Amino acid sequence: MWASFIAIGLMVVASLLISFARTRKNGWVRSILSLIAFLMFLPILLYMLVSIM
């Protein structure tokens, strides 16, 4: 149960980070924020698999 809550929280943070990067930033800052949000999807995937099993 806790793994699914962590995955949901990370998904919210990643979505907010992507939204912030696309609306407010330009250039290399946007790229770095998007990369950080994308890399957050790896632990989200792992927590999702743990919560399914």
Higher pLDDT, 15 or 1: 15
Full-model pTM = 0.78
For residue 18, CA distances in Å to 7, 28, 45, 47, 53 come to 16, 14, 17, 20, 29
pLDDT of res. 52: 87
Please work out, in degrees rounded to the nearest 5, the angle formed at the alpha carbon of residue 16 by the alpha carbons of 51 and 4. 10
Structure tokens at 44: 């989200």
- Give the count of domains, the chain: 1
pLDDT of res. 11: 93
Domain region containing 18:
2-52
pLDDT of res. 24: 80
**Per residue in 9-36, pLDDT tens?**
999 999 999 998 888 878 888 888 889 9
